[in-house]
Amino acid sequence: MDSGEVESLVEASRSEVKRWGGDAPGYLHLAAVLDRRWSVEFREAFGEDGIAAVEERLGNAVYVGDESDVRELLSSGSRAEILAKLRELVDAAPVTDDPVVLTKNRPAEATPADGGEVAAAAGGPTPTAADGSIPESEKPAQDREQILGLATRVAGERIQGREAEHREVAALLLAESAGPIIVTGERGSGRTSFIHGLPPVLADAGVGLTVFGVPRGQEVSPEDLYRLLRQAPDDSVIVVDDLDQRAMLRDQLPMVEMLRALRGASESTKARVIVVLEQASLGRFESYVTDFGHIVALPTMTDDAGEAAIKRAVDKIAARYEKVRPDDELMSAVSAPPARTEKFAHPGLAARRLDIALARAAIEGRDTATIVDLHRDGSVPALRRKVEEMSTAMKSRVKGQDTAIEAVTRRLALTRSNLDLRPERPNGVFLFVGPTGVGKTELAREIARVEYGGEDALIRLDMSEYSDSWGVSRLTGPMPGYVGSDSPDDWLTTKVANRPRCVVLLDEIEKAHPVVWNVFLQVFDAGRLSDSRGVTADFRDAVVVMTSNIGVREANSKPLGFGAAAGVERSRELALGALKDTMPPELLNRIDEVAQFEELSLAAITEIARDEVDRAIDMLASRGWTVGVDDEVIDWLATTGYDPAYGARHLQRNIERRLLSDLVTFSEKGVSTVRVQVRDSDIVISEA
């Protein structure tokens, strides 16, 4: 074995000293390391349960050998030879409750425990320290304020609204065979407050257990956690709060060692163990620690209890702001039900809302916070535009597609009014069908602007890039270890999890692989999508827009004699017929609206040209230009190169090539005031 591997194993053995105790790494510490490092060879030498014998001795403070012995053993031969010798040394070590240290050169002898204490013989008197007092490690839990400096006694307070859950936890703690307990709930549901309500419940029930918790902010390593659980008194309850954060369950690579320590210590400790984590992390936890214990979920509180809990929470927040008070309307608003994208539950949600509102008022130097301070981000339905205003705003930006816009706003009106039958689904799932350049993508942008406050709320995916089955990994991430597994920011699930109020645009959906279509079936039906790490993105407050050119030829082949309304409906039916021949029915059945986009008329193109030129003039003005444009220029830009089959695609080319490009010459001359006209059927730019 090379010296590098020897040093690595010795260093790992030193870590086991922190976990199990001892003055220096010995043979048993090394065995604990090799159980992980050389797992296959270790089990061949020690048997499937061989590590149990090692941990039993370490747990009883039996330490064999020292660091020099470990180094000598590691340099003595092959892995098989090292493990064979190590097995002999482990088998020769005594199994005793007395702390002993053995080396190959001296017999076993009793060693002082922490602080000079001497362990009592079985049935003997309780050991005492030098001053005659009972050592801290020998005190029952009820006489302690902390354990190993890692967990402190939980101060009890009576909590209303969780009586059933408190009784269930008390019963599980009383039943010695019940095992560990997992308390889970949504963020803000009061998980930590629930733990503070446990001591008085246990006292009322006559359960003689004392509750200790690892304080927030207390750094705890896997070795610390193992030591805490193994050495906790048998009349104690150890609560590990926020385990999902401590074990980094939401990260790509969670701290598996923390979970192993929890599993290993929980199986051998005499203390009761309660783990507290968010509901969203439960699945990831169970994927690493299977069949761990009983789950006690904290549901939404009933009305009376919920109001009392909210009042307690907001009173604590309000007390922090001496110079700012909330008005009555704000106090009523903070207790409103959670919006679909708010990741908190009451009472924590009410406290968070009030905290933010009061902070905004305090920063601006006002002595009263109002409902406006609560809704600065525009996410509250009461402050968003009415449906009629939304429709008008969209029509002002997207020309010639009133029918498609009305189909979209009809659906969004349902979700805004909370009248949709299945609120767990996205706010809308739309399929925009029509020829290129007619406003399909622009309407998706407009939904993002009007519904969610800006184009940055648009997540656009070119589905031609997902034409292979492995394209799914770009949506939910590849399995750990594969290329891209360490880049979750590129995945669709991460983008939606970071901004759940968004428009997801699936451009040219027909070009995606059928396996990719199947992924979106879950999104359209359940409003959820989990990535390869187990993290779930919530699509409930998103709008999904698919675009397609399928059926355009059929839709545009309508015969003469149809009225406008009948023609649009027939175009839609023809397009749907073509879609059914291409896409699976289970996908089409989950679409809320199929919006048919018509070819743009010349009048609509002219309106778009005017809007585009106005935006170009505003852009130039911000850069110091003064540009006058005659009306004839708008008509020229709209008609030159116009082809109904390509919609308004030619407009941007005309503006860039015949308007903006020609300004370069004037810029080089230092001229910034110009006039654009049409002369002899062509655009002419002159100094004004």
DSSP state of 104: T
Residues 278 and 326 in one domain: no
Question: Does residue 493 contact residue 531 with C-beta atoms inside 8 Å?
Answer: yes
Instruction: Check whether 261 has a pLDDT greater than 60.
Output: yes
Residues 6+ apart with CB under 8 A from 374: 330, 333, 334, 353, 356, 357, 380
Of 504, 587, 537, 542, give the one whose Cα is nearest residue 428. Answer: 542
What is residue 96's predicted lDDT score, i.e. its pLDDT?
Answer: 60
Three-state DSSP at 415 gives helix
On whether both 560 and 659 belong to a single domain, the answer is: no
β-sheet bridge partners, residue 183 = 276, 296
CB-based contact 360:319 (threshold 8 Å): no
Report pLDDT digits (tens) over 174-197. 997 888 999 999 888 889 999 999
Domain boundary among 271, 297, 323: 297
Percent of the chain residues topping a pLDDT of 90: 26
Residue 129 in any domain: the answer is no
> Which residue shows structure tokens 């149990």?
52
Sorting pLDDT into bands at 50, 70 and 90, what band is 554?
low
The H or E element containing residue 9 is helix 3-20
Q: Which residues of 581-681 form beta strands (DSSP E)? A: 593-596, 626-629, 673-679
pLDDT at 302: 63
**Range with the poorest average pLDDT among 204-213, 321-330, 355-364, 383-392:** 383-392
Comparing 542 with 554, which gets the higher pLDDT? 542
Integer CA distances (angstroms), 684 to 58, 605, 630, in order: 91, 21, 11
pLDDT in tens, 621-673: 988 899 999 989 898 988 887 777 667 777 878 888 888 888 888 888 888 89
The CATH number covering residue 607 comes to 1.10.8.60
Could you identify the residue written with the tokens 């699930």? 493
pLDDT given at position 30? 92
Can you list the positions of beta strands (E) in 327-480? 368-369, 428-433, 458-462
686 Rama class: left (phi>0) / alpha (psi -120 to 50) / beta: beta
Q: Is 137 part of a structural domain of the chain?
A: no
- Residue 572 domain flag: yes
276: closest CA among 117, 383, 165?
165
Q: Give the domain extent around 677.
A: 602-687
243 found inside a domain:
yes
The total of other beta-carbon atoms located within 10 Å of residue 379's CB is 16
Side by side, the strands of the sheet bearing 100-103 are: 62-64, 100-103, 106-110
Same domain, 310 and 286: no
Rounded Cα distance between 377 and 267, Å, is 48
Report the range of poorest mean pLDDT among 145-149, 343-347, 374-378: 374-378
Average pLDDT over residues 111-122: 34
Does residue 221 lie in a domain region?
Answer: yes
Judgement on whether residues 480 and 401 belong to the same structural domain of the protein: yes
pLDDT exceeds 60 at position 385: no
Identify whether 123 is part of a domain: no
What are the structure tokens assigned to 387, written together? 């449906």
Pairing assessment for the beta strands 673-679 and 682-687 based on DSSP bridges:
antiparallel
343 with 472, same domain: the answer is no
Evaluate whether residue 660 is within a structural domain.
yes
pLDDT score of 107: 36
How far apart CA 375 and CA 381 sit, in angstroms, is 9
Counted residue by residue, the chain has a size of 688
Do 368 and 288 belong together in one domain? no
Regarding whether 13 and 85 lie in a shared domain, the answer is yes
Per DSSP, the residues of 250-269 read TSSS--HHHHHHHHHHHHH-
The total of structural domains in the chain comes to: 5
Tokens of residue 589, six digits? 């059945």
The token duo for 424 is 């767990």
276: which DSSP letter?
A: E
Q: How far is CA 17 from the centre of its chain?
A: 36
End of a domain among 345, 372, 399? 372
- Element (H or E) spanning 425, and its range? none
217: left (phi over 0), alpha (psi -120 to 50) or beta: left
Residue 104 has pLDDT above 60, yes or no: no
pLDDT digits (tens, 9 = 90+) for 5-29: 888 888 888 888 877 778 889 999 9
Q: How many CA atoms lie within 13 A of 495 on its CB side?
A: 18
The answer, yes or no, to whether residue 418 has pLDDT greater than 80, is no
Q: Is 570 helix (H, G, I), strand (E, B) or coil?
A: helix
What whole-number distance in Å separates Cα of residue 653 and Cα of residue 183? 61
635 lies in the same domain as 679: yes
How far does CA 371 lie from the centroid of its chain? 28
Q: What angle do CA 243, 541, 435 make, to 5 degrees?
A: 135
- Comparing CA positions, the residue from 316, 282, 287 lying closest to residue 298 is 282
**pLDDT at position 608:** 87
To which residue do tokens 């008008």 refer? 392
Are 391 and 334 within one domain? Answer: no
Cα(332)–Cα(328) distance, integer angstroms:
6
Residue 344 — very low, low, confident or very high, per pLDDT cuts 50/70/90?
A: confident
What is residue 637's three-state secondary structure? helix
At residue 496, φ and ψ (nearest 5 deg) are: -75, -35
DSSP 8-state secondary structure symbol assigned to residue 659: I
In angstroms and rounded to an integer, the radius of gyration of the C-alpha atoms of the chain is: 35
Listed in sequence order, the DSSP H helices in 206-347 are 222-231, 243-246, 256-268, 282-288, 303-320, 328-333
pLDDT band at 118 (very low <50, low <70, confident <90, very high): very low
> How far is Cα 656 from Cα 637, in angstroms, rounded to an integer?
11
**Structure confidence by residue, pLDDT tens digits, 570-585:** 666 777 777 788 888 8
Domain boundary among 596, 614, 640: 596
Where would I find the H helices in 99-197? 163-174, 191-196
Q: Which residues of 523-535 are buried (b: 16+ CB within 10 A; e: fewer)?
A: bbbebebebbbbb
Residues 454 and 590 in one domain: yes
Same domain, 474 and 366: no
User: Is 106 domain-assigned?
Assistant: no
For residue 94, the SS3 value is coil
Same domain? 487 vs 530 = yes
Query: What is the CATH classification number for the domain harbouring 172?
Result: 3.40.50.300
Residue 549 parent element (H or E): none
